[in-house]
């Protein structure tokens, strides 16, 4: 299939049954041999795989909002929001829905197709979930895809989020199984995998990736990707974050900067191991040159966060991103029309139902 024959609604296909030709039995040795290929060969293979499922000129754009910042009881050694570290991040309460909706409108006006809401919780309380479900319903009603990241979930909590019409749940495994205890001690990799299984069983699409540059080895990075690629179903979305330096965190003492080529190798590997997943060049773009970002797109990354903040740290502003995409002759993906016809009229909210406008949906190329 030629790239030009691919339509811009390809990610929508991932909601369907998994393709029988997707592999879920990758070994770390195989992944290491791919990773270590001569760079041009690795990129060539990743590009071949990329073109089978995606238009390489298109990039998905999502905007993040921290709806509950700081004061988190977990001890993730990389995070500005853990109450255990003195990072200067002030703890705040759950944001009022009106403010969240105003930010979602801004994200939509800026061209984002997905709005991701993050909360610094170990796991949400049921009372919190009432408010988050209302946010999901209202953001979805604007014609945006919804994603939340709230920490660990029980099956009934997943059911409530699914009932609110949630599209994606972000829950990262962050690193390899071996390196995990060096970064986080208040939960295990298996706790993470358990929530992911609940999310999957509840019919919500999975967004799961990790962080690079926390002092882990290349084998740890590869092992993290193999963990994702050997799940029963690959995550629909795989965010790869370059660690954003946070003064006051334990990772600050062990972090090593990751070069653009090393990062692009990882992107290419993710693309080859999980051909139909959207691979997001997630946190860390502020510290990357245009050329480094372009290299990641060539390696198969096809999603970015837009908007000048992530959760607590910076991101390139929309104008910069627009200029980069324009210079590369690339464009932002538009939402599949399927969403207009189906999801927006079939929401079964946490008890609320309303007429949902389907106008104002024009795609916007930054």
- Active-site residue list: 72, 76, 79, 116, 147, 207, 280
Distance CA 70, CA 92 (A): 6
62 forms beta bridges with 114, 305
Rg (CA), the chain: 19
Verify binding: residue 174, ligand SAM, rule CB under 6 A: yes
Q: What is the C-alpha separation between 50 and 303, in angstroms, rounded?
A: 13
3-state SS, one letter per residue, for 47-69: HHHHHHHCCCCEEEEEEEEEEEC
- In terms of CB distance, is 48 or 247 closer to ligand SF4? 247
146 near ligand DTB, judged by CB under 6 A: no
Give dist(CA 365, CA 206) in Å, integer. 26
**Window 117 to 146, contacts with ligand SF4 (CB under 6 A):** 120, 122
Q: What does the angle CA 274 – CA 239 – CA 329 come to, to the nearest 5 degrees?
A: 85
The pattern of x and - marking residues 50 through 79 that bind ligand DTB according to CB under 6 A reads --------------x---------------
Cα separation of 315 and 296, whole Å?
A: 16
Site string for ligand SAM, 73-112 (x = CB under 6 A): -----xx-x-------------------------------
Which member of 151, 210, 284, 300 binds ligand SF4 (CB under 6 A)?
A: 151
Q: Which of residues 307-326 bind ligand SAM (CB under 6 A)?
A: 311
Site for ligand SF4 in 62-81 (CB under 6 A): 72, 74, 76, 79, 81
- Dist CA 146 CA 166 (whole Å): 6
Measured from the CB of residue 66, what is the shortest distance to ligand SAM in angstroms? Answer: 8
| Residue choice 14, 172, 175, 293 for contact with ligand DTB (CB under 6 A) | 172
d(CA 221, CA 215): 10
How far apart CA 217 and CA 44 sit, in angstroms, is 25
Q: Does residue number 277 form part of the binding site for ligand DTB (CB under 6 A)?
A: no
> Residues binding ligand SF4: what is the number (CB under 6 A)?
9
> Any contact of residue 244 with ligand DTB (CB under 6 A)?
yes
Residues 178, 220 contacting (CB under 8 angstroms): yes
Please give the residue ranges that form the binding site for ligand SF4 (CB under 6 A): 72, 74, 76, 79, 81-82, 120, 122, 151
Please give the residue ranges that form the binding site for ligand DTB (CB under 6 A): 64, 80, 118, 149, 170, 172, 209, 239, 241, 244, 282-283, 310-313
């Amino acid at each position: 299939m030629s790239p030009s024959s691919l339509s811009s609604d390809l990610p929508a296909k991932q909601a369907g049954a998994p393709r029988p030709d997707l592999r879920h039995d990758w070994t770390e040795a195989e992944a290491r041999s791919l990773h270590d290929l001569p760079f041009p060969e690795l990129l060539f293979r990743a590009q071949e795989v990329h073109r089978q499922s995606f238009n390489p000129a298109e990039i998905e754009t999502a905007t993040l909002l921290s709806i509950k910042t700081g004061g988190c009881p977990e001890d993730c050694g990389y995070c500005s929001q853990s109450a255990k570290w003195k990072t200067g991040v002030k703890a705040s309460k759950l944001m009022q829905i009106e403010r969240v909706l105003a930010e979602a409108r801004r994200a939509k006006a800026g061209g984002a197709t997905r709005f991701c809401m993050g909360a610094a919780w170990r796991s949400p309380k049921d009372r919190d979930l009432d408010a988050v479900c209302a946010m999901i319903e209202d953001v979805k009603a604007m014609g945006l895809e919804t994603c939340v990241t709230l920490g660990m979930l029980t099956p009934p909590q997943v059911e409530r989020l699914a009932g609110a019409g949630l599209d994606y749940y972000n829950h990262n495994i962050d690193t390899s199984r071996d390196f995990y205890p060096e970064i986080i001690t208040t939960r295990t990799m298996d706790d993470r995998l358990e929530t992911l299984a609940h999310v999957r069983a509840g019919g919500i699409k999975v967004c799961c990736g990790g962080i690079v540059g926390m002092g882990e080895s290349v084998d740890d990075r590869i092992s993290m990707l193999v963990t994702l690629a050997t799940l029963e179903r690959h995550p629909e979305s795989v965010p790869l974050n370059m660690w954003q330096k946070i003064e006051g965190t334990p990772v600050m003492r062990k972090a090593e900067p990751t070069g653009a080529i090393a990062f692009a190798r990882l992107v290419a590997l993710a693309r080859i191991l999980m051909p139909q997943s959207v691979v997001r060049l997630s946190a860390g773009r502020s510290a990357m040159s245009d050329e480094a970002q372009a290299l990641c797109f060539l390696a198969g990354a096809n999603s970015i966060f837009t908007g000048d903040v992530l959760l607590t740290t910076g991101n390139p502003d929309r104008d910069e991103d627009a200029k980069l995409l324009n210079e590369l002759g690339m464009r932002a993906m538009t939402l599949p029309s399927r969403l207009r016809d189906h999801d927006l009229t079939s929401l079964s909210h946490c008890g609320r139902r309303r007429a949902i406008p389907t106008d104002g949906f024009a795609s916007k190329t930054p």
